[in-house]
Amino acid sequence: MTRIGIYAGVFDPVHTGHIAFALQSIEHAKLDKVYFLPERRPWHKQGVEHFGHRVAMLRRATRPHAKLEVLELEDVSFTVRRTIPRLQKQFAASEIVFLFGSDVAQQLPNWQNAEALLRSCEIVVGVREGSMLEHIRQDIGSWPVKPKYLYIFESYAADVSSRKVREALRSRKYERGLLTSVARYSNHNWLYISLR
C-alpha cells in the first residue's frame, strides 16, 4: 500500500519552509508522495492572493521534486466531514497521512469533527519557530482523541514565514525562504504589490 501525504494550506505564497517540511515528512513518515492541497477560500484568512496564482507558484516550486505534487479539490474551503471522504475515495488504495505545522496542529482538537480525522489518519507535525518540541508533545498528549499515529520533528526552516516572504516580494528584496521560482512568477504577474 502506498503512503500519501496531504499537506493542506493557503500557501500565500509557498516558500522553502513548506518544501523542506514536505521533504522531511517523506523521510520521517516513509511517504511515497506528498500532495500540496491549496485551499481556494480559507475561512480563517482574508485577502489572500488569487487561487490560480497560488497554484501556479506551487506547481513551479514542486517541479524539481519527483515526490511532490499539487492537488486541486473543488471544495471552496476544507472541512473534515466533506474533505476527508473525498481524499479517501481518490486515494482508496493508499494510506493517507496529514501534514501540519505545529501552529495548526495545536488547533486541531477544536476543529469540527476532529476526532474523525485523528482516529482514521496518521499525523505529521513539523515544529515551527517559537514552538518548543516538548511543549507540543505535551499538548498533543493531552488531546481527548489520539491520532492513529504521530510523527513530530523540528522543521529545518522553522523561522520562514509567508508574511515575511510577501513583504520581501512587495519591496522586491531578498528574504530567507523566498524561492526563485516564486520571485520570478510574482514579479512577472505584479503580485503582492500592496500588503493585504
Convert the pLDDT of each residue in 95-111 to its tens digit.
999 999 998 888 898 89
- The mean pLDDT value for 18-33 works out to 98
pLDDT band (50, 70, 90) for residue 134: confident
Contact 13, 182 (CB under 8 A): yes
Catalogue all structural domains in the chain, each as residue range(s) with its CATH number.
2-158 (3.40.50.620)
pLDDT band (50, 70, 90) for residue 157: confident
Identify the bridge partners of residue 7 per DSSP, sorted by sequence position. 36
Query: Is pLDDT at 195 greater than 80 in this prediction?
Result: no
Q: Would you state the cell numbers that stand for residue 56, as one nine-digit string?
A: 501556479
Share of the chain above pLDDT 90, in %: 71
Q: 133 vs 31, which has greater pLDDT?
A: 31
Residue with cell 511517504: 31
Averaged pLDDT of the chain: 92
The pLDDT assigned to 28 comes to 97
Instruction: Give the strand pairing for 33-38 and 2-9.
Output: parallel
- The Cα–Cα gap between 137 and 149 comes to 13
Record the pTM: 0.93
